[in-house]
Amino acid sequence: MINSGDTAWVLISSALVLLMTPALAFFYGGMVRRKNVLSVLMQCFIIMCVLSIQWALIGYSLSFHPGEGFWGGFGWFGLNGVGLEPYADYAGTIPHQAFMIFQAMFAIITPALIIGAFAERMKFSAFLIFTLLLATFVYDPLCHWVWGIGGWLRNMGALDFAGGTVVHINAGIAALVTAIVLGRRSNLDKNVPTPHNMPFVVLGTALLWFGWFGFNAGSALAANGLAVNAFVVTHTAAAAAGLSWALIEWLRNGKPTIFGVCSGAVAGLVAITPAAGFVGVIPAIIIGLLVSVFCFIAVTIVKPLFGYDDSLDAFGVHCVGGIWGALATGLFASKLVNPAGSDGLFFGNPKQFLIQLATVGITIVYTAVVTLIIYKLVDLFIGMRVDEKTEAMGLDLTQHHERAYTVLE
């Protein structure tokens, strides 16, 4: 039976999650050089177009149609059979199409997160094909394994409330692989890029934080106490992480920065995502405080040490934060918060932590291997990277014949 309150909440949450992709466009767009800002905005917006069609035609069916195979199958091709009545196995109080469109927004933002790794140097044509293939052969299978009826990681007992593995580790590992094989930006050592528009970064962060309430609290799929818990711990973890990153900068560099607070807040939102429906407020604060430590180390120490050019730290924030969040779920999950979940290590169930650890490892290996294969195929047929002259001129002008600003860099 359809519940109007639950349906309204899921529809609102769907809109909130959709907002996160243009929010990400401003967040990333503010970080790149001014000659590339429109290319980032374009990539994010075209993903909303392309992935929406892919999801309606095959993505939703591959991800959520019941089945124990690699994918869910093509039984819901073109949303055939996805109607306006509830589908009890996923959400028994909202129309099936409401669940479908909510999940569509997750499928859209996941490949958008990867943009942060290859910003300023990928061909737009290659980007389109690469993104479509990643969505179909990486996101859709992982989504089915973790969330779909019959998915083997779901059957194993993996906990991922709103996408720590499916979205963030997945996107972060794909980002790292892409950054490594694509190579560093030209003249990076001589001309270290700095964010060209910090107000854009702050605006993007604010909108991401706002949209994340739909991302996490909406994953309760009902207007109930679990949604309230997810809402509260999401906000608390983000606040703790933003504060933690500022304090780390203050101690290490002598001054805190708004860029650091924004980075920390996003890291906190990432880390709490898999745990939001399974942990209480105190664990959320711990998760938020520690994620900034891990991500700060990844961004400021690990990346320079290994020399890969993860342009906007998609790996350093989303993958590292997602790994911590997934493992923290195995530590802090409690049936007192969600009886349908499981207790974690600190509540007497070490098995759950091992399940989370295995899920993280499987996600990393699968995504890394398939991303590399897809990259090599696309590069073989059309080439992935723009030439040096095009990169120097900027992607706004060379790929889209547009310019964001009248003043040249």
| Ramachandran class of 313: left when φ > 0, alpha when ψ lies in -120 to 50, beta otherwise | left
132-145 pLDDT, tens digit per residue, is 999 999 999 999 99
36-92 pLDDT, tens digit per residue, is 999 999 999 999 999 999 999 999 999 999 999 999 999 999 999 999 999 999 999
210-253 pLDDT, tens digit per residue, is 999 999 999 999 999 999 999 999 999 999 999 999 999 999 99
In a domain, 204, yes or no: yes
- Do the beta carbons of residue 124 and residue 39 sit within 8 Å? yes
297-353 pLDDT, tens digit per residue, is 999 999 999 999 999 999 999 999 999 999 999 999 999 999 999 999 999 999 999
In a domain, 274, yes or no: yes
In a domain, 408, yes or no: no
In a domain, 129, yes or no: yes
Residue 313 burial (CB count, 10 A): 23
Range of the domain at 337: 4-78+92-400
In a domain, 86, yes or no: no
* Number of domains within the chain: 1
Name the pLDDT band for 190 (thresholds 50, 70, 90): confident
pLDDT at 409: 47
pLDDT at 189: 77
Please provide the average confidence, as pLDDT, over all residues in the chain: 97
In a domain, 73, yes or no: yes
157 burial via Cβ count (<10 Å: 0-12, 13-18, 19+): middle
Alpha-carbon distance of 124 to 44, in angstroms, equals 12
In a domain, 407, yes or no: no
Phi, psi angle pair for 122, to nearest 5°? -110, 140
Any idea what the CATH number is for the domain that residue 58 is in?
A: 1.10.3430.10
Name the pLDDT band for 407 (thresholds 50, 70, 90): low
Cα-only R_g, the chain: 20
In a domain, 348, yes or no: yes
Share of the chain above pLDDT 70, in %: 99
Quick check: 193 pLDDT over 60?
Answer: yes
